[in-house]
Amino acid sequence: MIEAAKGTRDILPGEVARWQLVEQQARDIFTLFGFREIRTPIFESTELFTRGVGEATDIVAKEMYTFLDRKGRSLTLRPENTAPVARALIEHGLLRGAEMHRLYYIGPMFRYERPQKGRMRQFAQIGVEVVGSDHPAVDAETLQMLMLFLGRLRLGALELQVNSVGCSVCRPVYRDILVAALRPHRDALCTDCRRRLETNPLRCLDCKVPADRAIVDGAPPILEHLCADCAAHFARVRGHLDGLGVAHTVAPRLVRGLDYYRRTTFEVVSTSLGAQSALLGGGRYDGLIEELGGPPAPGFGFAMGEDRLVMSLPGDLPGLEQASGVFIVVLGDEAVAAGLLAAARLREAGRAAVVEPAPQKSLKAQMRRANDLKARFVLILGADEIARGTLTVKRMADGAQQEVAAASLVQALTELDHG
Ligand code: AMP
Protein backbone atom coordinates (compact mmCIF):
# COMPACT_ATOMS: atom_id res chain seq x y z
CA MET A 1 0.00 0.00 0.00
CA ILE A 2 1.28 3.46 -0.87
CA GLU A 3 0.77 5.87 2.02
CA ALA A 4 0.82 9.66 2.21
CA ALA A 5 4.41 10.93 2.50
CA LYS A 6 5.78 11.48 6.00
CA GLY A 7 4.65 14.77 7.49
CA THR A 8 1.71 15.15 5.09
CA ARG A 9 -1.89 14.15 5.60
CA ASP A 10 -5.27 13.95 3.98
CA ILE A 11 -8.10 16.12 5.19
CA LEU A 12 -11.05 13.82 4.74
CA PRO A 13 -14.60 15.01 3.96
CA GLY A 14 -15.69 14.55 7.59
CA GLU A 15 -13.06 17.05 8.72
CA VAL A 16 -13.25 19.52 5.90
CA ALA A 17 -16.19 21.51 7.32
CA ARG A 18 -13.94 22.73 10.13
CA TRP A 19 -11.32 23.93 7.64
CA GLN A 20 -13.90 25.67 5.48
CA LEU A 21 -15.37 27.38 8.50
CA VAL A 22 -11.99 28.75 9.58
CA GLU A 23 -11.28 29.95 6.04
CA GLN A 24 -14.70 31.55 5.65
CA GLN A 25 -14.37 33.44 8.94
CA ALA A 26 -10.93 34.64 7.86
CA ARG A 27 -12.24 35.84 4.49
CA ASP A 28 -15.25 37.56 6.06
CA ILE A 29 -13.31 39.41 8.73
CA PHE A 30 -10.33 40.33 6.56
CA THR A 31 -12.74 41.72 3.97
CA LEU A 32 -14.38 43.91 6.65
CA PHE A 33 -10.96 45.48 7.18
CA GLY A 34 -10.33 46.08 3.47
CA PHE A 35 -7.96 43.17 2.88
CA ARG A 36 -7.87 41.44 -0.52
CA GLU A 37 -6.66 37.97 -1.38
CA ILE A 38 -3.42 37.29 -3.22
CA ARG A 39 -2.41 33.88 -4.60
CA THR A 40 1.24 33.28 -5.35
CA PRO A 41 2.94 30.12 -6.71
CA ILE A 42 3.69 27.11 -4.53
CA PHE A 43 7.35 27.08 -5.64
CA GLU A 44 9.74 29.96 -6.14
CA SER A 45 13.42 30.54 -6.93
CA THR A 46 15.45 29.34 -3.96
CA GLU A 47 17.21 32.69 -3.87
CA LEU A 48 13.98 34.43 -2.82
CA PHE A 49 14.05 32.61 0.50
CA THR A 50 17.80 32.65 1.12
CA ARG A 51 17.70 36.43 0.67
CA GLY A 52 14.26 37.15 2.05
CA VAL A 53 14.13 34.81 5.03
CA GLY A 54 17.85 34.76 5.77
CA GLU A 55 20.65 32.17 5.46
CA ALA A 56 21.08 31.91 9.22
CA THR A 57 17.46 31.02 9.98
CA ASP A 58 16.44 27.46 10.79
CA ILE A 59 14.05 27.56 7.86
CA VAL A 60 16.73 28.25 5.27
CA ALA A 61 19.53 26.35 7.02
CA LYS A 62 17.70 23.05 7.40
CA GLU A 63 14.01 23.04 6.57
CA MET A 64 13.57 23.86 2.90
CA TYR A 65 12.36 21.50 0.20
CA THR A 66 14.80 22.55 -2.48
CA PHE A 67 15.25 20.79 -5.80
CA LEU A 68 16.69 21.35 -9.26
CA ASP A 69 14.26 21.35 -12.15
CA ARG A 70 15.07 19.73 -15.51
CA LYS A 71 17.03 22.78 -16.62
CA GLY A 72 19.08 22.85 -13.41
CA ARG A 73 17.30 25.86 -11.80
CA SER A 74 17.18 25.74 -8.03
CA LEU A 75 13.57 25.92 -6.85
CA THR A 76 12.04 25.68 -3.38
CA LEU A 77 8.57 24.78 -2.17
CA ARG A 78 7.53 27.89 -0.28
CA PRO A 79 8.27 27.55 3.46
CA GLU A 80 6.48 30.83 4.20
CA ASN A 81 4.65 33.40 2.14
CA THR A 82 5.82 36.87 3.13
CA ALA A 83 8.81 36.83 0.79
CA PRO A 84 6.67 35.58 -2.14
CA VAL A 85 4.07 38.31 -1.54
CA ALA A 86 6.84 40.91 -1.41
CA ARG A 87 8.27 39.49 -4.62
CA ALA A 88 4.90 39.70 -6.34
CA LEU A 89 4.39 43.34 -5.29
CA ILE A 90 7.84 44.27 -6.60
CA GLU A 91 7.55 42.25 -9.82
CA HIS A 92 4.19 43.80 -10.76
CA GLY A 93 5.33 47.33 -10.00
CA LEU A 94 2.68 47.77 -7.33
CA LEU A 95 4.99 49.65 -4.99
CA ARG A 96 5.70 52.60 -7.29
CA GLY A 97 2.95 54.73 -5.79
CA ALA A 98 2.60 55.49 -2.14
CA GLU A 99 -0.59 53.52 -1.61
CA MET A 100 -1.00 50.83 1.00
CA HIS A 101 -1.63 47.20 0.17
CA ARG A 102 -3.70 45.07 2.52
CA LEU A 103 -3.38 41.47 1.42
CA TYR A 104 -4.18 38.02 2.73
CA TYR A 105 -3.43 34.50 1.60
CA ILE A 106 -4.51 30.97 2.51
CA GLY A 107 -2.52 27.97 1.35
CA PRO A 108 0.03 25.23 1.90
CA MET A 109 3.61 25.77 3.10
CA PHE A 110 6.40 23.19 3.26
CA ARG A 111 9.12 22.71 5.84
CA TYR A 112 11.32 19.69 6.42
CA GLU A 113 10.73 19.37 10.16
CA ARG A 114 10.34 16.41 12.48
CA PRO A 115 6.61 15.73 12.38
CA GLN A 116 4.71 15.79 15.67
CA LYS A 117 1.27 16.84 16.82
CA GLY A 118 0.55 20.18 15.17
CA ARG A 119 3.83 20.12 13.24
CA MET A 120 3.70 18.88 9.67
CA ARG A 121 5.94 18.99 6.60
CA GLN A 122 3.05 20.27 4.52
CA PHE A 123 0.84 22.59 6.54
CA ALA A 124 -1.54 25.39 5.71
CA GLN A 125 -1.12 28.99 6.74
CA ILE A 126 -3.54 31.87 6.75
CA GLY A 127 -1.56 35.07 6.60
CA VAL A 128 -1.93 38.79 6.05
CA GLU A 129 0.50 41.47 4.92
CA VAL A 130 0.07 45.24 5.07
CA VAL A 131 2.65 46.94 2.88
CA GLY A 132 3.30 50.64 2.40
CA SER A 133 3.04 52.17 5.87
CA ASP A 134 5.13 52.07 9.01
CA HIS A 135 2.49 53.86 11.06
CA PRO A 136 1.98 52.23 14.47
CA ALA A 137 -1.79 52.32 13.88
CA VAL A 138 -1.28 49.73 11.14
CA ASP A 139 0.26 47.28 13.61
CA ALA A 140 -2.50 47.90 16.15
CA GLU A 141 -5.42 47.68 13.74
CA THR A 142 -4.08 44.51 12.12
CA LEU A 143 -3.74 42.95 15.56
CA GLN A 144 -7.28 44.06 16.39
CA MET A 145 -8.47 42.25 13.25
CA LEU A 146 -6.53 39.15 14.23
CA MET A 147 -7.96 39.01 17.74
CA LEU A 148 -11.47 39.55 16.37
CA PHE A 149 -10.96 36.59 14.04
CA LEU A 150 -9.62 34.35 16.80
CA GLY A 151 -12.46 35.42 19.09
CA ARG A 152 -15.03 34.36 16.48
CA LEU A 153 -13.48 30.89 16.47
CA ARG A 154 -13.91 30.66 20.25
CA LEU A 155 -10.47 29.18 20.78
CA GLY A 156 -10.48 29.58 24.54
CA ALA A 157 -8.03 31.64 26.56
CA LEU A 158 -5.56 33.42 24.28
CA GLU A 159 -2.85 35.90 25.09
CA LEU A 160 -1.46 38.47 22.66
CA GLN A 161 2.22 39.04 23.48
CA VAL A 162 4.05 41.95 21.89
CA ASN A 163 7.65 43.08 21.78
CA SER A 164 9.94 45.24 19.69
CA VAL A 165 13.19 43.95 18.19
CA GLY A 166 14.46 47.35 17.14
CA CYS A 167 15.71 48.47 13.74
CA SER A 168 18.94 48.55 11.74
CA VAL A 169 20.17 51.36 14.01
CA CYS A 170 19.60 49.92 17.48
CA ARG A 171 19.51 46.19 16.85
CA PRO A 172 23.22 45.77 15.97
CA VAL A 173 24.12 47.71 19.12
CA TYR A 174 21.89 45.47 21.20
CA ARG A 175 23.23 42.40 19.44
CA ASP A 176 26.74 43.25 20.69
CA ILE A 177 25.42 43.87 24.21
CA LEU A 178 23.65 40.52 24.16
CA VAL A 179 26.66 38.62 22.84
CA ALA A 180 28.87 40.23 25.49
CA ALA A 181 26.38 39.17 28.19
CA LEU A 182 26.03 35.59 26.93
CA ARG A 183 29.59 34.81 25.87
CA PRO A 184 30.90 34.16 29.44
CA HIS A 185 28.16 31.45 29.72
CA ARG A 186 28.85 29.99 26.28
CA ASP A 187 29.82 26.50 27.46
CA ALA A 188 26.63 26.20 29.50
CA LEU A 189 24.38 26.94 26.49
CA CYS A 190 22.80 24.26 24.31
CA THR A 191 24.52 23.43 21.02
CA ASP A 192 21.88 25.35 19.05
CA CYS A 193 22.45 28.49 21.13
CA ARG A 194 26.22 28.18 20.81
CA ARG A 195 25.72 28.26 17.06
CA ARG A 196 23.16 31.07 17.32
CA LEU A 197 25.56 33.11 19.42
CA GLU A 198 27.75 33.37 16.31
CA THR A 199 25.10 33.51 13.60
CA ASN A 200 21.89 34.94 15.05
CA PRO A 201 22.29 35.75 18.77
CA LEU A 202 18.80 37.24 19.18
CA ARG A 203 17.39 33.76 18.65
CA CYS A 204 19.01 32.71 21.94
CA LEU A 205 16.37 34.87 23.62
CA ASP A 206 13.53 32.51 22.86
CA CYS A 207 15.37 29.23 23.36
CA LYS A 208 13.06 26.76 25.10
CA VAL A 209 15.82 24.77 26.92
CA PRO A 210 15.31 25.50 30.68
CA ALA A 211 19.03 25.83 31.50
CA ASP A 212 19.42 28.34 28.64
CA ARG A 213 16.37 30.25 29.75
CA ALA A 214 17.94 30.83 33.16
CA ILE A 215 21.06 32.31 31.52
CA VAL A 216 19.16 34.37 28.96
CA ASP A 217 16.81 35.78 31.59
CA GLY A 218 19.87 37.41 33.15
CA ALA A 219 20.78 39.21 29.91
CA PRO A 220 19.62 42.81 29.38
CA PRO A 221 16.23 42.99 27.61
CA ILE A 222 16.09 44.56 24.16
CA LEU A 223 13.35 47.01 25.19
CA GLU A 224 15.88 48.86 27.32
CA HIS A 225 18.15 49.35 24.31
CA LEU A 226 15.78 50.56 21.61
CA CYS A 227 16.68 53.81 19.85
CA ALA A 228 14.32 56.74 20.47
CA ASP A 229 12.38 56.17 17.23
CA CYS A 230 11.81 52.49 17.92
CA ALA A 231 10.85 53.14 21.55
CA ALA A 232 8.33 55.77 20.42
CA HIS A 233 6.96 53.45 17.75
CA PHE A 234 6.44 50.65 20.26
CA ALA A 235 4.76 53.00 22.74
CA ARG A 236 2.37 54.23 20.04
CA VAL A 237 1.51 50.68 18.95
CA ARG A 238 0.61 49.90 22.55
CA GLY A 239 -1.33 53.14 22.83
CA HIS A 240 -3.43 52.30 19.78
CA LEU A 241 -4.01 48.77 21.07
CA ASP A 242 -5.26 50.22 24.34
CA GLY A 243 -7.41 52.71 22.45
CA LEU A 244 -9.03 49.86 20.51
CA GLY A 245 -9.46 47.79 23.67
CA VAL A 246 -7.12 45.02 22.50
CA ALA A 247 -5.69 43.27 25.56
CA HIS A 248 -1.99 42.43 25.32
CA THR A 249 1.10 41.76 27.40
CA VAL A 250 4.70 42.75 26.74
CA ALA A 251 7.03 39.76 26.24
CA PRO A 252 10.56 41.21 26.30
CA ARG A 253 12.18 37.94 25.12
CA LEU A 254 9.89 37.47 22.15
CA VAL A 255 11.93 37.40 18.95
CA ARG A 256 10.81 35.64 15.82
CA GLY A 257 12.64 33.06 13.76
CA LEU A 258 12.83 35.08 10.60
CA ASP A 259 15.60 37.60 10.04
CA TYR A 260 13.47 40.22 8.37
CA TYR A 261 11.55 41.40 11.43
CA ARG A 262 12.00 45.01 12.55
CA ARG A 263 10.34 46.74 15.49
CA THR A 264 7.02 45.12 16.43
CA THR A 265 6.98 41.36 16.87
CA PHE A 266 4.17 39.41 18.44
CA GLU A 267 2.76 35.99 19.13
CA VAL A 268 -0.61 34.73 20.19
CA VAL A 269 -0.30 31.87 22.62
CA SER A 270 -3.06 29.59 23.72
CA THR A 271 -3.00 29.08 27.45
CA SER A 272 -4.81 25.76 26.95
CA LEU A 273 -2.47 24.09 24.38
CA GLY A 274 0.62 22.17 25.49
CA ALA A 275 4.08 22.27 23.94
CA GLN A 276 2.96 23.88 20.67
CA SER A 277 1.27 26.75 22.46
CA ALA A 278 2.22 29.41 19.91
CA LEU A 279 -0.82 29.62 17.71
CA LEU A 280 0.71 32.19 15.43
CA GLY A 281 3.13 35.02 15.21
CA GLY A 282 4.28 37.87 13.06
CA GLY A 283 5.59 41.37 13.08
CA ARG A 284 6.94 44.30 11.16
CA TYR A 285 9.43 43.82 8.32
CA ASP A 286 10.45 47.26 7.18
CA GLY A 287 13.67 46.24 5.40
CA LEU A 288 12.48 43.16 3.53
CA ILE A 289 11.23 44.70 0.33
CA GLU A 290 14.44 46.66 -0.23
CA GLU A 291 16.44 43.53 0.56
CA LEU A 292 14.58 41.84 -2.29
CA GLY A 293 15.38 44.64 -4.72
CA GLY A 294 12.21 46.72 -4.35
CA PRO A 295 11.69 50.33 -3.34
CA PRO A 296 11.61 51.24 0.36
CA ALA A 297 8.24 49.93 1.52
CA PRO A 298 7.57 49.00 5.12
CA GLY A 299 5.37 46.04 5.98
CA PHE A 300 3.54 44.33 8.80
CA GLY A 301 2.08 40.86 8.78
CA PHE A 302 1.39 37.56 10.42
CA ALA A 303 0.84 33.94 9.51
CA MET A 304 -1.10 31.39 11.44
CA GLY A 305 -0.98 27.64 11.21
CA GLU A 306 -4.40 26.56 10.03
CA ASP A 307 -3.78 22.99 11.24
CA ARG A 308 -3.38 24.29 14.78
CA LEU A 309 -6.41 26.55 14.52
CA VAL A 310 -8.58 23.67 13.37
CA MET A 311 -7.21 21.41 16.13
CA SER A 312 -8.11 23.99 18.75
CA LEU A 313 -11.69 24.66 17.58
CA PRO A 314 -14.40 23.82 20.10
CA GLY A 315 -16.55 20.86 19.01
CA ASP A 316 -19.81 22.78 19.24
CA LEU A 317 -18.84 25.80 17.17
CA PRO A 318 -21.96 27.28 15.55
CA GLY A 319 -21.98 26.63 11.82
CA LEU A 320 -20.39 23.19 12.14
CA GLU A 321 -22.21 20.00 11.28
CA GLN A 322 -25.45 21.65 10.33
CA ALA A 323 -27.76 19.08 8.82
CA SER A 324 -28.98 20.53 5.55
CA GLY A 325 -29.45 18.11 2.68
CA VAL A 326 -32.14 15.68 1.66
CA PHE A 327 -31.49 11.94 1.38
CA ILE A 328 -33.85 10.02 -0.87
CA VAL A 329 -34.47 6.39 0.02
CA VAL A 330 -35.59 4.32 -2.95
CA LEU A 331 -37.09 0.90 -2.25
CA GLY A 332 -37.17 -1.31 -5.34
CA ASP A 333 -35.80 -0.55 -8.77
CA GLU A 334 -39.07 0.99 -10.04
CA ALA A 335 -38.66 3.79 -7.45
CA VAL A 336 -35.27 4.94 -8.79
CA ALA A 337 -36.65 7.08 -11.64
CA ALA A 338 -39.10 8.87 -9.33
CA GLY A 339 -36.25 9.39 -6.85
CA LEU A 340 -34.10 11.04 -9.52
CA LEU A 341 -36.99 13.32 -10.50
CA ALA A 342 -37.61 14.36 -6.88
CA ALA A 343 -33.90 15.11 -6.44
CA ALA A 344 -33.88 17.22 -9.62
CA ARG A 345 -36.87 19.23 -8.36
CA LEU A 346 -35.20 19.87 -5.01
CA ARG A 347 -31.93 21.00 -6.54
CA GLU A 348 -33.79 23.37 -8.85
CA ALA A 349 -35.19 24.93 -5.68
CA GLY A 350 -31.67 25.24 -4.26
CA ARG A 351 -31.76 22.25 -1.93
CA ALA A 352 -28.96 19.68 -1.81
CA ALA A 353 -30.30 16.21 -2.52
CA VAL A 354 -28.74 12.77 -2.78
CA VAL A 355 -30.29 9.63 -4.16
CA GLU A 356 -28.25 6.48 -3.93
CA PRO A 357 -29.53 3.85 -6.36
CA ALA A 358 -29.26 0.85 -4.03
CA PRO A 359 -32.89 -0.29 -4.23
CA GLN A 360 -32.11 -3.73 -2.81
CA LYS A 361 -30.88 -2.25 0.49
CA SER A 362 -33.31 -2.36 3.38
CA LEU A 363 -35.06 0.76 4.64
CA LYS A 364 -33.09 0.45 7.86
CA ALA A 365 -29.72 0.33 6.07
CA GLN A 366 -30.63 3.35 3.92
CA MET A 367 -31.78 5.32 6.98
CA ARG A 368 -28.42 4.60 8.62
CA ARG A 369 -26.72 6.00 5.55
CA ALA A 370 -28.89 9.15 5.72
CA ASN A 371 -27.82 9.55 9.32
CA ASP A 372 -24.13 9.20 8.43
CA LEU A 373 -24.52 11.87 5.76
CA LYS A 374 -26.25 14.13 8.33
CA ALA A 375 -29.32 14.63 6.17
CA ARG A 376 -31.91 17.06 7.47
CA PHE A 377 -34.77 15.31 5.66
CA VAL A 378 -35.26 11.82 4.32
CA LEU A 379 -37.72 11.08 1.52
CA ILE A 380 -39.00 7.53 1.24
CA LEU A 381 -40.15 6.20 -2.11
CA GLY A 382 -41.60 2.69 -2.11
CA ALA A 383 -44.21 0.86 -4.17
CA ASP A 384 -47.12 2.50 -2.25
CA GLU A 385 -45.83 6.01 -2.77
CA ILE A 386 -45.23 5.37 -6.48
CA ALA A 387 -48.78 4.06 -6.88
CA ARG A 388 -50.21 7.16 -5.17
CA GLY A 389 -47.83 9.73 -6.73
CA THR A 390 -46.59 10.77 -3.29
CA LEU A 391 -43.47 10.72 -1.11
CA THR A 392 -43.05 10.10 2.59
CA VAL A 393 -41.09 12.94 4.19
CA LYS A 394 -39.27 12.44 7.48
CA ARG A 395 -37.64 15.28 9.43
CA MET A 396 -34.56 13.73 11.03
CA ALA A 397 -34.31 16.11 13.98
CA ASP A 398 -37.55 14.89 15.57
CA GLY A 399 -38.78 12.03 13.39
CA ALA A 400 -41.88 13.97 12.29
CA GLN A 401 -43.25 12.19 9.22
CA GLN A 402 -45.93 12.91 6.62
CA GLU A 403 -46.94 11.86 3.15
CA VAL A 404 -46.98 14.62 0.54
CA ALA A 405 -47.93 14.83 -3.13
CA ALA A 406 -44.86 14.73 -5.40
CA ALA A 407 -45.89 18.05 -6.98
CA SER A 408 -45.92 19.93 -3.64
CA LEU A 409 -42.67 18.46 -2.28
CA VAL A 410 -40.63 21.67 -2.30
CA GLN A 411 -43.34 23.61 -0.52
CA ALA A 412 -43.81 20.85 2.06
CA LEU A 413 -40.13 20.90 2.97
CA THR A 414 -40.17 24.70 3.33
CA GLU A 415 -43.05 24.39 5.77
CA LEU A 416 -41.27 21.62 7.69
CA ASP A 417 -38.12 23.81 7.84
CA HIS A 418 -39.98 26.29 9.97
CA GLY A 419 -42.43 23.96 11.68
P1 AMP B 1 6.27 31.08 11.17
O2 AMP B 1 6.06 31.26 9.69
O3 AMP B 1 7.42 30.20 11.51
O4 AMP B 1 6.23 32.37 11.91
O5 AMP B 1 4.99 30.25 11.67
C6 AMP B 1 3.74 30.83 11.81
C7 AMP B 1 2.76 29.79 12.29
O8 AMP B 1 2.65 28.76 11.33
C9 AMP B 1 3.16 29.07 13.56
O10 AMP B 1 2.80 29.77 14.72
C11 AMP B 1 2.38 27.79 13.43
O12 AMP B 1 1.03 27.97 13.83
C13 AMP B 1 2.41 27.53 11.96
N14 AMP B 1 3.46 26.56 11.62
C15 AMP B 1 4.77 26.78 11.39
N16 AMP B 1 5.41 25.64 11.08
C17 AMP B 1 4.49 24.65 11.10
C18 AMP B 1 4.51 23.24 10.84
N19 AMP B 1 5.63 22.61 10.50
N20 AMP B 1 3.36 22.55 10.97
C21 AMP B 1 2.20 23.18 11.30
N22 AMP B 1 2.12 24.50 11.55
C23 AMP B 1 3.24 25.23 11.45
Nearest-atom number in ligand 1 for the CA of 118 is 21
Residue 145 counted as domain residue? yes
Distance CA 406, CA 245 (A): 56
Please indicate whether residue 58, judged by its CB atom, sits closer than 6 Å to ligand 1.
no
Q: Could you please report the per-residue DSSP string of 1-12?
A: ---PPTT-----
Whether residue 33 is found in the same domain as residue 148: yes
Please indicate whether residue 339, judged by its CB atom, sits closer than 6 Å to ligand 1.
no
243: number of Cβ within 10 Å: 11
Please indicate whether residue 255, judged by its CB atom, sits closer than 6 Å to ligand 1.
no
Residue 65 counted as domain residue? yes
In angstroms, what is the span from residue 145 Cα to ligand 1's centroid? 19
Please indicate whether residue 303, judged by its CB atom, sits closer than 6 Å to ligand 1.
yes
Find the helix or strand (DSSP H, E) in which 28 lies.
Answer: helix 13-32
Distance CA 53, CA 49 (A): 5
Q: Which SS3 state, helix, strand or coil, does residue 64 take?
A: coil
Distance CA 167, CA 169 (A): 5
Residue 198 CA: distances (Å) to CA of 38, 101, 120:
37, 36, 29
Q: Residue of the nearest CA to atom 18 in ligand 1?
A: 119
Nearest-atom number in ligand 1 for the CA of 280 is 10
Residue 174 counted as domain residue? no
In contact, 301 and 285? CB cutoff 8 Å: yes
Residue 138 counted as domain residue? yes
In contact, 17 and 321? CB cutoff 8 Å: yes
Domain end position, chosen among 312, 342, 366? 312
Distance CA 317, CA 326 (A): 23
In angstroms, what is the span from residue 301 Cα to ligand 1's centroid? 14
Instruction: Tell me the longest C-alpha to C-alpha distance in the chain.
Output: 93
Residues 6+ away with beta carbon under 8 Å from 146 = 128, 160, 268, 280, 302
In angstroms, what is the span from residue 345 Cα to ligand 1's centroid? 46
Whether residue 156 is found in the same domain as residue 89: yes
Pocket mutation for ligand 1, best pick of 49, 254, 261, 308 (most atoms within 8 Å of C-beta): 308
Whether residue 302 is found in the same domain as residue 378: no
Nearest-atom number in ligand 1 for the CA of 303 is 6
Alpha helices in 162-302 (DSSP H): 170-182, 191-199, 210-217, 228-243, 288-291
Per the structure, the complete domain to which residue 93 belongs is given by 13-160+248-312
Whether residue 121 is found in the same domain as residue 58: yes
Whether residue 109 is found in the same domain as residue 37: yes
Residue 352 counted as domain residue? yes
Whichever domain contains 380, its CATH number is 3.40.50.800
Please indicate whether residue 259, judged by its CB atom, sits closer than 6 Å to ligand 1.
no
pLDDT at res. 130: 97
Residue 172 counted as domain residue? no
Number of alpha carbons in the 13 Å side-chain half-sphere of residue 276: 15
Residue 367 counted as domain residue? yes
Torsion of CA 166, 170, 171, 173, to 10 degrees: -160
Region for 118 from its dihedrals, namely left if φ exceeds 0, alpha if ψ lies in -120 to 50, beta otherwise: left
Whether residue 358 is found in the same domain as residue 381: yes
Per-residue pLDDT of 320-357, as tens digits, reads 666 679 999 999 898 999 999 999 999 999 999 999 88
377: number of Cβ within 10 Å: 24
Whether residue 253 is found in the same domain as residue 370: no
Please indicate whether residue 278, judged by its CB atom, sits closer than 6 Å to ligand 1.
yes
Pocket mutation for ligand 1, best pick of 22, 125, 260, 276 (most atoms within 8 Å of C-beta): 125
In contact, 280 and 257? CB cutoff 8 Å: no
Distance CA 246, CA 160 (A): 9
Please indicate whether residue 305, judged by its CB atom, sits closer than 6 Å to ligand 1.
yes
Q: Residue of the nearest CA to atom 21 in ligand 1?
A: 119
Domain end position, chosen among 257, 283, 312? 312
Q: Which SS3 state, helix, strand or coil, does residue 153 take?
A: coil
* Residues facing residue 264 across a β-bridge: 164
Residue 358 counted as domain residue? yes
Distance CA 161, CA 256 (A): 12
Whether residue 331 is found in the same domain as residue 306: no
pLDDT at res. 56: 77
Whichever domain contains 304, its CATH number is 3.30.930.10
pTM (two decimals): 0.87
Residue 169 CA: distances (Å) to CA of 165, 262, 293:
11, 10, 20
Domain end position, chosen among 256, 281, 312? 312
Query: Tens-digit pLDDT profile for the chain (419 aa)?
Result: 999 999 999 999 888 989 999 999 999 999 999 999 999 999 999 999 999 888 878 889 899 999 999 999 999 999 999 999 999 999 999 998 888 999 999 999 999 999 988 889 999 999 999 999 999 999 999 999 999 999 999 888 899 999 999 998 999 999 999 999 988 988 888 998 888 888 888 888 888 888 888 888 888 999 999 999 999 999 999 999 999 999 999 998 888 766 678 999 999 988 766 555 778 899 999 888 998 999 989 999 999 999 989 988 887 776 666 667 999 999 989 899 999 999 999 999 999 999 988 878 899 999 999 998 889 999 999 999 999 999 999 999 999 999 999 999 999 999 998 87
Whether residue 378 is found in the same domain as residue 400: yes
Please indicate whether residue 230, judged by its CB atom, sits closer than 6 Å to ligand 1.
no
Whether residue 113 is found in the same domain as residue 75: yes
Looking at the 3D structure of the chain, how many domains does it have?
2
Distance CA 254, CA 257 (A): 10
In angstroms, what is the span from residue 85 Cα to ligand 1's centroid? 17
Distance CA 57, CA 87 (A): 19
* Residues facing residue 128 across a β-bridge: 104, 302
Whether residue 54 is found in the same domain as residue 142: yes
pLDDT at res. 319: 66
Whether residue 331 is found in the same domain as residue 374: yes
pLDDT at res. 357: 87
Please indicate whether residue 281, judged by its CB atom, sits closer than 6 Å to ligand 1.
yes
